Chains A and B, each alone.
Chain A
Amino acid sequence: MTVTEERATGSAGGGLRRARRGVGNAGSGPGPAGRRPHARRGGLTFLFLALPSVILVLLLTAYPLVYAAYQSLHQGTLISDGPFVGFKNYANQLSSAAFWHAAGFTLLFTVVGVFGSWIVGLVFALVLKARLPASGVFKVLLLLPWVVPVVVTATAWNWLVATPQSPLPVLAKALGFGDVLFLADPTLAIILVCLFKVWVSFPFMMMMSSSALAAVDTNVYEAARVDGANRWQTFRHISMPIIARSTYISWILMTIFCVNDFPTIFLLTGGGPANATMSLVVMAYTTTFQSFQPGPGVAIAFMMTLVLVVISTVLYRQIRKVDIE
């Protein structure tokens, strides 16, 4: 019986068994019925000592959040709060076609970014799992897109595609595709921005998958091979379930990275052409700092946060499910 099962079933002997194994259960169960006074005093002392840290954390996280919520309910400027408008900023955004267009692009960008980078990262992780000569060098090279600052990589990609004399348009023309407008054509701009996100993110996914795969006991593969499992079956029924927890965590993190990814889009296309690649985070920025409307801008950011919390919660539930299984 696992710790989770013991908690779920409320097994009476669970605590004892955990104690025998040296596994604690700090703070999760009810305390002893008759606490002695010095224990209560100890608790108060602990609270008193922790109070400065608690206040600091509240100041650093809760205050900006509460103030941002306050701003989203006002029609202010960058230097003043302005009149209270209730949920008007939210309602205006939700009834705006531009908002839903940006939401749609953000969804596409996130789905492609998360699953595209995961698939590429996993493939590289599986390839590098095999003992290849100079695999360390390959790993370092493959990590470069993630390690190099995005300002540099976005500028490099811009140089690759921006003008008709850039290398990729020249190559496309030489291959008979004519004048390909990688950034000026809305559809191609969307594809390019998504591809860039996959390229810049796959090393992270590769590292997550590599570390998860490295933890799998090789005996398990050996046993599967003896049982007649082929490579796909081994991957599908052994590797995948074992690395599922790590995979869900990487999905959560990458979802957050993608939804909040400002520099990729802002540096490559600025949200254009004609708002084709306008994401919610870029929209929140331009609304706040270019149109000088922090109320609607923060409202957009808050709605993004809400969606992220929901997605993260769903994926965390999946992780718990994996733990139980």
Chain B
Amino acid sequence: MTDQLQSKGFSRRGFLGFAGAAAALPLLAACSGGGGGSSGGKGGIIKFWNMPWASPAFNVKDKQITLAYKPPKGLGAATYQIVQWATFTQTFGSAIASNTGPAVSSGGGLQAFQYAAQGKIAYADNLIATFKKDGTYDDFVDGAWDAMKTDKGYAAVPYAYDMRVMYYRKSLIEKNNITLPTTWDEWLAVAKDLKKVGMYAYGVGGGAGNNVGVQSLISLMINNGGGVFDADKKFNPVTDKNIEAMDFVRELISAGAVDPSSVTYTPDNVYAQWKANKFVIGFWSPGLSVNTGLSDIEVMPPLKSRSGESGALYFPNNLMMYKETPSQEGSEAFLSYYVKNMHQLWDSQVFSSVPVLKSIVNSEPFKKNKDGLGAAKYYLPVAKTLASPGGQAVFPAIATMDGTAPSLAFGQVMLAGKTDSKKALQDWKTAVESA
């Protein structure tokens, strides 16, 4: 694809580059003090773009870490930019297409793999070799690198895990004399009890800007030993285990476990329902206690499914390097520094996600992060990626399903409880394939 683009006489990038260069020439000439510019060569500035992974305090701390970077002699310093989630695909897409993007960034969980397939990513194999020499490699939790592996190399460096974990309101469970469920059938019984007092045992949301609804369903499929991508990396959700899992969801809905309005709940609506004592058990990512401000929210250990298995969905968020960099050596030096210093994000309690470094998971400050600790303790050993059950390494084709309109619609249809499970799964498959 890249070759095709390069063979064109007149491309958008070429045109934008020409126009930009023409426009910038007088300005650069005026600014130049006669010496060499800082954007070219080995010592160019390393642009680091990161996402608002948590509250604004996260990015404040993250910027401090970035700007504290002291590059080795001859390499450039780093700059910091926040990219908002609302428009991140546009921001990265247009910047990378016009060669004005970052040298290092985080981003969507699949971003590195999508851009790697389009020849834009600098593989991390060389950096990993240095990590192996200095011992950093062994500090990563088991399986962390497996999810980053592609046919051509490691597309990214693991950063943090976002998981779909189950939470419960401890005070409400105790108040209603409920025993915490350990299996799906116990969960169903609890749902019936909670319904009698006007509370919900499957608190979730699937509205605008909220993918947790459909992700909780996929998490339950994985919990039951299923998943949505087969060993050939094909989207194949119509399996016996998935049908069994979705049939169970229909039972939960019939038992009154799901708030009927939840199909259109935004994240704020979900937080409001937790705070209104309506959601007692439900799905969210690590950080719900911070988002809601509720002190009695606890992570619930994963339940044994009807097939007797445990499991949950997780997203291996990562840090990637781009080919378009002033210096690959500079990108690697910065990323190495960042990985070795990112513990400060957890030390200062501004990041709720599950760390990928064992040293952070076992650190004293992390033990105060009850959401992250619960997720790491209970879910990390059993969590699987969207590539399940076919594999664990993520790949670009997952993007055809994750967060797309057909998947959101599937989540809403299922949570509304008005469709047969097999038909809903089949319709989902058809919609994703036709899109």
- A residues near B, CB below 8 A? 59, 63, 67, 76-83, 96, 98, 158, 162-165, 169, 179, 181, 183-184, 189, 266-275, 278, 283, 286-287, 289-293
A77 to B115, CA, bound (A): 10
A278 to B208, CA, bound (A): 12
Report the count of interface residues on B (CB-CB < 8 A): 52
- B residues near A, CB below 8 A? 1-2, 4-5, 8, 11-12, 15, 19, 89-90, 92-94, 96-97, 114-115, 118, 120, 206-210, 259-266, 268-269, 272-273, 276, 278, 399-400, 403-405, 408-409, 412-413, 416, 431, 434-435
Closest to A267 in B: B208
Residues on B with beta carbons closer than 8 Å to the beta carbon of A158: 266, 268-269
Closest to B276 in A: A165
Residues on A with beta carbons closer than 8 Å to the beta carbon of B262: 184
Residues on A with beta carbons closer than 8 Å to the beta carbon of B115: 79
Closest to A95 in B: B434
Can you spell out 9 A-B residue pairs with CB atoms less than 8 angstroms apart?
Answer: A79-B93, A80-B118, A158-B269, A162-B265, A184-B262, A269-B208, A271-B208, A272-B408, A291-B405
A272 to B120, CA, bound (A): 34
Decide yes or no: A289 and B5 within 8 Å by CB, A79-B97, A181-B261 being known contacts: no
- Partner pick for A163 among B1, B263, B265, CB 8 A cutoff: B265
Closest to A76 in B: B1
Decide yes or no: A274 and B89 within 8 Å by CB, A80-B5, A162-B269, A164-B259 being known contacts: no
Residues on A with beta carbons closer than 8 Å to the beta carbon of B400: 291-292
Closest to A82 in B: B1
Q: Are A184 and B405 in contact (CB under 8 A)?
A: no
| 10 interchain residue pairs of minimum CB distance | A270-B208, A78-B93, A183-B264, A79-B97, A273-B412, A286-B405, A184-B261, A289-B89, A291-B404, A274-B412
Residues on B with beta carbons closer than 8 Å to the beta carbon of A162: 207, 261, 264-266, 269, 272
Closest to B8 in A: A81
Q: Are B409 and A275 in contact (CB under 8 A)?
A: yes
Closest to B208 in A: A270
Closest to B413 in A: A274
Q: Are A184 and B416 in contact (CB under 8 A)?
A: yes
How far apart are B209's CB and chain A's nearest CB, in angstroms? 7
Decide yes or no: A164 and B12 within 8 Å by CB, A80-B2, A283-B405, A293-B435 being known contacts: no
Q: Are A179 and B5 in contact (CB under 8 A)?
A: no
How far apart are B157's CB and chain A's nearest CB, in angstroms? 21
Closest to B418 in A: A274
Q: Are A78 and B261 in contact (CB under 8 A)?
A: no
At the interface, is chain B mostly helix, strand, loop or mixed? helix
Q: Are B269 and A163 in contact (CB under 8 A)?
A: yes
Q: Are A78 and B269 in contact (CB under 8 A)?
A: no
Q: Are B405 and A271 in contact (CB under 8 A)?
A: yes
How far apart are B3's CB and chain A's nearest CB, in angstroms? 10
Residue of A59, A83, A269, A273 most packed against chain B (CB within 10 A) = A273
How far apart are B265's CB and chain A's nearest CB, in angstroms? 7
Q: Are B264 and A272 in contact (CB under 8 A)?
A: yes
Residues on B with beta carbons closer than 8 Å to the beta carbon of A76: 1
Residues on A with beta carbons closer than 8 Å to the beta carbon of B264: 162, 183-184, 189, 269-270, 272-273
Decide yes or no: A78 and B405 within 8 Å by CB, A67-B12, A162-B265, A270-B207 being known contacts: no
- Partner pick for A79 among B96, B210, B259, B408, CB 8 A cutoff: B96
Residues on A with beta carbons closer than 8 Å to the beta carbon of B405: 98, 271, 275, 278, 283, 286-287, 290-291
Decide yes or no: A179 and B260 within 8 Å by CB, A67-B12, A271-B405 being known contacts: yes
Closest to B101 in A: A79
Q: Are A77 and B4 in contact (CB under 8 A)?
A: no
Please give 17 more A-B residue pairs, beta carbons under 8 A apart, in addition to A83-B1, A184-B260, A274-B263: A77-B114, A77-B118, A79-B115, A80-B5, A80-B118, A81-B4, A82-B4, A162-B264, A162-B265, A164-B261, A271-B405, A271-B408, A273-B416, A275-B409, A283-B405, A290-B404, A290-B405
A281 to B12, CA, bound (A): 24
How far apart are B45's CB and chain A's nearest CB, in angstroms? 22
A97 to B70, CA, bound (A): 56
How far apart are A64's CB and chain B's nearest CB, in angstroms? 10
